């Protein structure tokens, strides 16, 4: 992200109209937009970081995870079998490395500082939406890096409590103290009324919420990205299940549906596929019962007992390189490029047998299998030539 006098000059020379809808509840520096603005904010640095840290699992198969096996120890692994194989994962273990955590903080700081350099009302609404979603997610990651959670993060999120990391005023944007809840329930709710898609861009850190995306949101593609995120979440066990059970995340965000469960139901039916469409359509009432508070890390949220992290600090630093903000030479601020040479997923780089509790190996292997299926890279093994031909004939007939 580079902000300099040239950009400021472009902004001042645009002279486009500023649109102020009914945004009185929004702090003054964040009101309005320029619907004719052509400026695009670059998030290449965020993309490099996310591509190095996020495992994209893909669409849910609604498959249950295997039951944890008794390993002979007193350590019991608790998982939600309905959801343990779902949702993208973030490599939270790498944030224990101070240098990696510092990179995250640099990126978060650069986002927080942007509106002080370029007032947001010079941007169009799509660019503003992408900005707020990216700021929310990177601030959440930065706060979680400081908290170093493992296992369940229900108490850390603690919806509705003033001690929650979501409710604390951890941000100062253009001189305005903000919490993550302020971004969600004031800025996004008031600036994008009757647009519930925005909730799918808000990563909560747990498996049971919307997936963290492998790329930062961009003004050009933000609504397509949110549509994809909504489709994935709604068509997963995390989002919907039999007998009208839906995610507690919807209860948390019911205000985006005018506090109307019928409106939420209509929204879900717009995205549901296959038999679950009928299940939700015919349900007499929706029950906010689907939840998984386990940390959305590469081990499915379970605690690590011994062993090293999934990827060591030097490996991450080789993949993601950054420096502190420096003068751009034109009076502005610049961040150096961050590179991502990873050519394979994080799980492929791991020595699984030494990195995870035994009970988690099968779950991670299944996640890898699902990822391969979603990518269309399933290998057929242990089949003779006739069996292979038979399998190919079945696919052609289907």
Assigned domain for 269 exists: no
Assigned domain for 261 exists: no
What 3-state class would DSSP assign to 251? helix
How many domains does the chain contain in total? 1
Q: Shortest CA distance to 148 belongs to which of 75, 94, 102, 83?
A: 94
Residue 194, domain extent = 2-238+292-397
Assigned domain for 307 exists: yes
CA torsion 203→206→207→209, rounded to 10°? -40
Assigned domain for 246 exists: no
Phi, psi at 289, each rounded to 5°: -120, -15
Assigned domain for 260 exists: no
What 3-state class would DSSP assign to 295? strand
Assigned domain for 191 exists: yes
Rg value, the chain, Cα: 22
pLDDT score for 396? 52
Tokens 């103290």 locate to: 177
Do 128 and 218 contact (CB within 8 A), yes or no?
Answer: no
pLDDT along the chain (398 residues), means of 10: 36 44 89 90 94 92 80 61 93 92 95 92 96 98 94 92 93 98 98 96 97 97 98 98 97 97 98 96 97 88 39 39 38 36 35 44 65 55 47 54
Output the CA–CA distances (angstroms, integers) from residue 357 to 75, 122, 192, 299, 349, in the order listed.
10, 51, 44, 9, 17
Assigned domain for 273 exists: no
Assigned domain for 264 exists: no
Give helix then strand counts, H and E, for the chain. Answer: 16, 10
Segments of the chain assigned E as strands: 2-3, 54-55, 89-90, 171-173, 176-178, 240-241, 245-247, 287-290, 326-327, 333-334
Do 310 and 350 contact (CB within 8 A), yes or no?
Answer: yes
Output the CA–CA distances (angstroms, integers) from residue 247 to 62, 210, 240, in the order listed.
14, 10, 6
Q: Shortest CA distance to 105 belongs to which of 365, 113, 68?
A: 113
């Amino acid at each position: 992200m580079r902000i300099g006098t040239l950009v400021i000059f472009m902004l001042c020379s645009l002279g486009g109209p500023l649109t102020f809808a009914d945004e009185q509840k929004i702090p003054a520096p964040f009101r309005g937009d320029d619907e004719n603005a052509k400026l695009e904010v670059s998030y290449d640095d965020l993309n490099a970081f996310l591509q190095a840290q996020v495992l994209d699992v893909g669409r849910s198969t609604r498959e249950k995870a295997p039951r944890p096996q008794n390993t002979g120890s007193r350590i019991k692994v608790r998982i939600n079998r309905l959801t343990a194989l779902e949702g993208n994962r973030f490599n939270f273990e790498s944030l224990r490395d101070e240098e990696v955590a510092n990179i995250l903080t640099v990126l978060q700081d650069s986002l927080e500082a942007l509106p002080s350099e370029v007032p947001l009302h010079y941007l169009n609404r799509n660019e503003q939406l992408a900005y707020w979603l990216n700021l929310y997610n990177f601030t959440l990651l930065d706060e979680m890096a400081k908290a170093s959670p493992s296992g369940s993060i229900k108490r850390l999120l603690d919806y509705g409590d003033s001690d929650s990391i979501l409710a604390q005023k951890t941000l100062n944007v253009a001189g305005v103290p903000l919490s993550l809840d302020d971004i969600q329930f004031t800025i996004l709710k008031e600036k994008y009324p009757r647009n519930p898609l925005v909730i799918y861009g808000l990563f909560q850190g747990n498996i049971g919420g919307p997936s963290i995306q492998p790329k930062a949101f961009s003004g050009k593609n933000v609504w397509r990205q949110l549509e994809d995120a909504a489709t994935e979440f709604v068509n997963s066990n995390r989002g919907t299940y039999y007998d009208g059970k839906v995610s507690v995340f919807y209860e948390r965000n019911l205000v985006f549906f005018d506090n109307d469960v019928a409106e939420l139901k209509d929204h879900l039916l717009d995205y549901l596929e296959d038999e679950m469409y009928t299940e939700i359509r015919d349900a007499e009432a929706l029950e906010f019962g689907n939840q998984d508070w386990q940390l959305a890390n590469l081990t499915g949220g379970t605690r690590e007992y011994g062993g090293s992290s999934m990827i060591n600090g030097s490996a991450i630093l080789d993949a993601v390189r950054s420096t502190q903000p420096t003068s751009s030479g034109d009076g502005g601020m610049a961040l150096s490029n961050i590179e991502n040479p990873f050519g394979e997923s994080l799980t492929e780089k791991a020595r699984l047998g030494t990195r995870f509790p035994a009970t988690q190996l099968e779950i991670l292997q299944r996640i890898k299998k699902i990822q391969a299926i979603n990518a269309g890279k399933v290998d057929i093994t242990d089949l003779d030539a006739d069996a292979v031909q038979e399998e190919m004939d079945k696919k052609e007939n289907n």
